[in-house]
Structure 1
Amino acid sequence: MFAFQNFAHLATIDLGTPGPKPTSIAGNQMEAAKTLWTSPDGLAEAGVWECTPGRFTANRETNTEICHIVHGRVTLHDKDGRSRDVGPGEMLVLPIGWTGEWTIHETTRKLYFIKFETA
């Protein structure tokens, strides 16, 4: 268990040198991330991620992700064509099985929590 007040520094925490986003389909995106916590069994992880503007594909075939947008603005597009805009202070859940695309409108930073499913 961790206290959320410990994450006040997320807007400025150093994530290291950004690298190319492997699933980028527009914008030559760069991303960086830092893991803050991993469960003892390795099936859950919390961290901070940041990405530059553009568009990328994503899927949650084997995990569920909860995201809290620290700064930036995105539009999520699911496989059925529905879209949702998300901005600073908002939280979203990508359940296991979710597939779609993210459009990053401005450099975006999120706190994430991922729960990996067992085989």
Structure 2
Amino acid sequence: MSENEALASAKTGSETVSLRHVMANTVALPQPQSKPTSRTGQMESTLSLWEAGPHTSTGVWECEPGEFTAVRDTCTEVCQILSGTATVHGDDGTSVHLAAGSLLVLPIGWRGTWVIHETIRKTYVLVGAATEPEPIAEPH
């Protein structure tokens, strides 16, 4: 196990469950692969840290500059940008510029395009259950 990774055990009832941890900004990622939805031939790499079914997982992802389409039909994605820059354009006409420190939510049903300007690295959480956000109460 590298210095960037550590597994610790936590006792839950009678079963042992392992905690998962990496230093997301420096952990070595697997060999990059072609991004299937790339319009420009990009390569991407994903380190899955934990999975709980086909549409619920978390990990670290990195992708080189270029453009690709994205569809969130089966899950909501929450991601924290660690490095790099990108612009994300929703098919609904919204756009947002991302840089280190950005926190982004792509709700289930979201569709759009990512334009990566500088190699981007993010942590992500994919949540398979479709949930509607609770309305935020207005302050009195």
Pick the TM interval, shorter chain.
0.7 to 0.9
**Alignment equivalent of 1:16, drawn from 20, 26, 30:** 30
> Residue by residue, what CA displacement relative to the aligned partner does 1:36-90 show, whole Å, maximum 9, x if unpaired?
1123x55521100000000000010111000000101110000022211011011
2:72 is matched with: 60
Q: Which 10-residue stretch deviates more, 46-55 or 109-118?
A: 109-118
Please tell me the residue identity of whatever aligns with 1:92.
L
Identity of aligned residues (%): 46
Partners of 2:24 and 2:83 in 1: CA distance = 10
Which of 53, 60, 63 does residue 48 from structure 1 map onto?
A: 60
Normalized against structure 2, the TM-score is what?
0.74
Aligned equivalents of 1:90, 1:15: Cα separation in 2? 21
For residues 68-117 of structure 1, the C-alpha deviation after alignment (integer angstroms, 9 at most, x for no partner) is 00101110000022211011011000000000000000000000000124
TM-score by length of 1: 0.86
Unaligned stretches of 5+ residues in structure 2: 1-18, 131-140
Q: Which residue, out of 38, 51, 60, partners 2:51?
A: 38
Q: CA RMSD in A?
A: 2.1
Higher relative contact order (CA 8 A, sep 6+): 1
Larger fraction in helix: 1
Gaps of 5+ in 1: none
- Whose Rg is larger? 2
**d(CA) in 2 for partners of 1:63 and 1:80?**
18
Equivalenced residues, count: 113
- The aligned runs of 1:1-119 (5 Å cut-off) are 6-7=21-22, 9-26=23-40, 28-39=41-52, 41=53, 43-117=55-129
